[in-house]
Amino acid sequence: MATARDLIGRWDIVSWEQVFDDGRRELPMGDALHGFIRYTEDGDMMCMLARAERPNFTTGGQWNASNEEKARAYTSMLAYGGRFSVDGDIVSHKVNISMFPNWVGGEQKRRLVKNDDGTIALTARMEEGTPQARTVRLVWRKAGGQA
């Protein structure tokens, strides 16, 4: 059984996949993603994930690039932060800031699995009972190779 203390530190992303009940498998940020999740001793957490090769804007800067380029940037990265807690094998992220406005004030609950190779997996069921029902699995390795 994991405790909050087991998670303290930075964890680098290894993989992120979604396996749909109909057999489809998707990699939301491709197979070359990068990013991390960090848990602090005082209960804070932050997560940033992105496609490994995000193109630079060519039509302007962060405020005046084309809407198409800004949309591509939005869909090639995920970032949120807040507070976390652990209850048994469930990790809860209470979101207080997110690039997705609808996540703010919500809670992301994930099942924590400690793998034999020193990685951890955070998994969840999404959209249960719909054609998009799937299991989401993110695998993380402790930064610096420490498990």
Is the pLDDT reported for residue 146 higher than 60? no
Going by pLDDT thresholds of 50, 70 and 90, the confidence category of residue 62 is confident
Pairing outcome for strands 107-114 and 77-87: unpaired
Band the pLDDT of 2: cuts 50, 70, 90.
confident
Distance of CA 83 to the CA centre of its chain: 14
Does domain 4-145 correspond to CATH entry 2.40.128.280? yes
The model's pLDDT over 115-134, given as tens digits with 9 standing for 90+, comes to 989 899 999 999 999 999 99
pTM, two decimal places: 0.89
As a whole number, mean pLDDT of residues 62-78 equals 92
Write the DSSP symbol of residue 5: H
Q: What is the mean pLDDT of the chain?
A: 93
Find, among 33, 28, 38, the residue nearest to 13 by Cα: 33
> For the chain, how many residues are written?
147
